Amino acid sequence: MVKPYLALVAATGVERLIELRVSKRNIAWSLARGGRETGSGHYPVMVALHSGLLAGCAIEALAKRRKFRPRIGWPMLSVAVLAQGLRWWCITTLGRSWSTKIVVVPGTPLVRSGPYRYFSHPNYVAVIAEGVALPLVFDARITATAFTLLNAGLLTVRIKAENRALAGT
């Protein structure tokens, strides 16, 4: 049963590569319109943490011989899928303003539609949900715990940097 889980983790990795491609295109668009990048110091940590999540899921499932536990696995799979839906709702709502880096084009109004009409940082809700759910689909408790704790610290830095950048628009 580990092969379908590894395929899910790999598919999540492919999705991340698609995000990076969209992000690169959007950053180029923003910079061409006077956008400024801020808060880049934490970006390498974010990349490492998110890569570590995927690697940790696979390594823990194999090394610890984790098993699929339907009572938690199916609900966590649902949460992981819903998190992807929320993430792409955020990406499509922000359009060219979305990227994995903090780049703000001066004079661009804050988006208050889509999931942003409900709360300020819905993409991070998706990240938090996925960070718990994806590992727990296959009972990777260590990975879920480690990612959640490290991500909490990272998001504290990231959200402060993002809020400062957006306040300047």
Alpha-carbon dihedral angle through residues 87, 132, 150, 41, given to the nearest 10 degrees = -10
Q: Tell me which amino acid residue 142 is.
A: I
Task: Using the predicted structure, report yes or no on whether residue 169 has a pLDDT greater than 60.
Answer: no
Count of CA atoms in the C-beta half-sphere (13 A) of 137: 25
Residues 6+ apart with CB under 8 A from 49: 147, 150, 151, 154
Q: What pLDDT, on the 0 to 100 scale, is given for residue 1?
A: 77
Q: What pLDDT, on the 0 to 100 scale, is given for residue 41?
A: 96
Instruction: Give the pLDDT confidence of 92-120 residue by residue, as tens digits.
Output: 999 999 999 999 999 999 999 999 999 99
Q: What pTM value is reported for the model? A: 0.94
Question: Locate tokens 């610890």: which residue?
Answer: 64
Instruction: Give the pLDDT confidence of 27-66 residue by residue, as tens digits.
Output: 999 999 999 999 999 999 999 999 999 999 999 999 999 9
Per-residue 3-state assignment (H helix, E strand, C coil) for the chain: CHHHHHHHHHHHHHHHHHHHHHHHHHHHHHHHCCCEEECHHHHHHHHHHHHHHHHHHHHHHHHCCCCCCHHHHHHHHHHHHHHHHHHHHHHHHHHHHCCCCEEECCCCCCCCCHHHHCCCCHHHHHHHHHHHHHHHCCCCHHHHHHHHHHHHHHHHHHHHHHHHHHHCC
Q: Enumerate the domain spans of the chain.
A: 2-167
CA-only gyration radius of the chain, Å: 17
Sign of the dihedral defined by the CA atoms of residues 123, 165, 42, 91, in that order = positive
CATH hierarchy code of domain 2-167: 1.20.120.1630
